[in-house]
C-alpha cells in the first residue's frame, strides 16, 4: 500500500509537517554530481536536531569520487561521525553500502531527504526494485538535479518499515529567529555550553569564558562547523533586522 504524505508540491519543503510520522531521517548527499553545497548538511541538522530526529548522512555516488573527493568524504566522516551522526558511503552501480542501508531502514519509518539529483529515488529503487520510482539525470548544463520527484510519498519496505521519498530540497531557510535555538542545535556546542561562563545563553561569539572557543583552539570543535554556525547566526540576525524595519 502506498500513502501520500501531507505535503503539496507547491509547499516549501517542511520537515516539521512530517516529523510526527518518522523515526529517523536519512540525508543523502554527494561530494560531486551535484557538488555538496557548503553548509547544507548543517542547515539540515539544525532542523532535525530541534525535533530530536536521528540522522544518518549518506554520501552517495562513491563510484565517481576521485582521490580529492575521497579525502573530502573522510573529512566529513570525521567531523559528523565524531559528533554522533551515522555516516555511510554508498554507490548504486557498485552496490556499495546497500546492505548497511537496509539494516538502518529495517522496521523504522524513515524520511529520505537531500538536494535534487543526489540519487534518493535511485537508492530506494536499489533496495526495493519493485517500486520503480522515477529518476532523472542531472543536467549537463548546470550540473544540478532536475527535480524529478515532485511530491513526498511513503512506501512499505518488504523487509519491514516504511520509507518516504521526497522532492529535492531547493533552499533551507529558517523560520527560527531565536539565535539560542540555533546554538543549541549544534549538539557538540550545546554539550560544551555547560562550561561556558554564560551557560546556555552563550552564543559562542564574543562572550568571555566561552568553552566552544576553547575547544576550537584545542581542535576539539571543527572549524567548518563553527564557521557554518556563524553564517547561520548572521543570517538570522539579518532576517530579524529586516523584519524589525518593516514595522516602521
Ligand atoms: N554514478 C552514480 N550515479 C548515481 C548513483 N545514484 C544515483 N545516480 C544517478 O543520479 C541521477 C539522479 O538520481 P535520482 O534518483 O533521480 O535523484 P533524486 O535525489 O531522487 O532527485 P530528485 O527526485 O530530483 O530530488 C540519476 O541519473 C541516477 O542514475 C550512484 O551511486 N552513482
Ligand atoms: Mg527523486
Ligand atoms: Zn560559549
Q: Rounded CA gap, 144 and 106, in Å?
A: 31
Claim to verify: residue 134 and residue 189 sit in the same structural domain: no
Q: Is the CB of 166 under 6 A from ligand 1?
A: no
Q: Are residues 142 and 236 in the same domain?
A: no
165 CA distance to ligand 3 centroid (A)?
38
Check pocket membership of 29 for ligand 1, CB cut-off 6 A: no
Please choose, from the candidates 164, 160, 134, the residue with its C-alpha nearest in 3D space to the C-alpha of residue 148.
Answer: 134
- How far apart are the C-alpha atoms of 138 and 210, rounded to whole Å? 44
Q: Which of these, 24, 7, 39, lies nearest to 234 by C-alpha position?
A: 39
CA of 206 to the centre of ligand 3 (A): 9
Which residues in the chain land under pLDDT 70? Answer: 1-20, 174-176, 246-248
Residue 173: inside a domain: no
CA distance 98 to 82: 22
Closest atom of ligand 1 to CA, residue 123: 6
Split into its structural domains, the chain has a count of 2
CATH number, residue 98: 3.40.50.300
- Answer yes or no: is 55 within a domain: yes
pLDDT value of residue 219: 96
Residue 32 lies in a domain: yes
237 and 115, same domain (yes or no): no
CA of 200 to the centre of ligand 3 (A): 8
- Does one domain contain both 129 and 236? no
Out of 165, 193, 217, pick the residue that ends a domain: 165
Distance (Å, rounded) from C-alpha 168 to C-alpha 112? 10
Question: 160 and 200 share a domain?
Answer: no
Distance 129 CA to ligand 2 centre (A): 14
DSSP letters, 88-153, are: EE-BTTTTBSHHHHHHHHTTSEEEEE-BTTSSHHHHHHHH-GGG-----PPPTTT-S------S-E
Strands 153-156 and 2-4: antiparallel
Q: Are residues 42 and 120 in the same domain?
A: yes
Domain boundary among 111, 130, 165: 165
Does any domain span residue 144? yes
Residue 177 is placed in which grid cell? 529567529
For residues 162, 167, 170, 176, the Cα torsion angle rounded to the nearest 10 degrees is -40
Q: For residues 103 and 31, state if they share a domain.
A: yes
Q: Which atom of ligand 1 is nearest to the CA of 90?
A: 31
Q: Does residue 153 lie within any of the structural domains?
A: yes
The per-residue pLDDT for 246 is 64
Are 141 and 28 contained in the same domain? yes
Rounded Cα distance between 188 and 179, Å, is: 16
Question: Does 101 share its domain with 12?
Answer: yes
Q: Is 30 in the pocket of ligand 1 (CB under 6 A)?
A: no
Query: What is the pLDDT at residue 20?
Result: 63
Residue 172 included in any domain: no
Q: Which domain holds residue 158?
A: 2-165
Beta strands in 132-220 (DSSP E): 153-156, 162-165
Together in a domain, 21 and 113: yes
Q: Whose CA is nearest to atom 1 of ligand 1?
A: 61
Instruction: From the CA of 94, give the closest atom in ligand 1.
Output: 31
Amino acid at each position: 500500500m502506498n500513502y501520500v504524505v501531507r505535503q503539496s508540491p507547491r509547499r516549501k519543503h517542511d520537515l516539521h509537517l512530517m516529523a510526527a510520522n518518522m523515526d529517523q531521517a536519512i540525508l543523502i548527499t554527494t561530494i560531486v554530481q551535484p557538488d555538496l553545497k557548503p553548509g547544507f548538511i548543517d542547515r539540515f541538522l539544525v532542523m532535525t536536531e530541534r525535533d530530536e530526529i536521528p540522522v544518518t548522512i549518506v554520501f552517495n555516488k562513491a563510484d565517481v569520487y576521485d582521490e580529492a573527493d575521497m579525502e573530502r568524504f573522510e573529512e566529513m566522516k570525521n567531523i559528523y561521525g565524531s559528533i554522533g551522526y551515522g555516516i555511510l558511503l554508498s554507490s548504486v552501480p557498485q552496490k556499495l553500502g546497500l546492505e548497511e542501508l537496509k539494516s538502518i531502514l529495517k522496521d523504522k519509518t524513515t524520511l529520505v531527504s537531500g538536494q535534487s539529483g543526489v540519487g534518493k529515488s535511485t537508492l530506494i529503487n536499489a533496495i526495493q526494485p519493485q517500486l520503480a520510482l522515477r529518476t532523472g539525470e542531472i543536467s549537463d548544463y548546470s550540473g544540478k538535479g532536475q527535480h524529478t520527484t515532485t511530491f513526498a510519498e511513503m512506501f512499505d519496505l518488504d523487509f519491514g518499515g516504511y520509507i518516504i521519498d521526497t522532492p529535492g530540497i531547493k533552499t533551507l531557510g529558517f523560520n527560527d529567529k531565536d539565535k539560542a535555538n540555533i546554538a543549541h542545535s549544534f549538539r557538540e556546542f550545546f554539550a560544551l555550553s555547560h562550561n561556558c561562563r554564560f551557560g546556555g545563553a552563550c552564543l559562542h561569539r564574543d562572550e568571555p569564558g566561552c568553552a566552544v572557543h576553547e575547544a576550537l583552539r584545542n581542535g576539539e570543535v571543527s572549524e567548518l562547523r563553527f564557521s557554518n554556525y556563524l553564517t547561520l547566526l548572521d543570517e538570522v540576525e539579518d532576517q530579524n533586522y529586516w523584519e524589525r524595519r518593516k514595522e516602521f
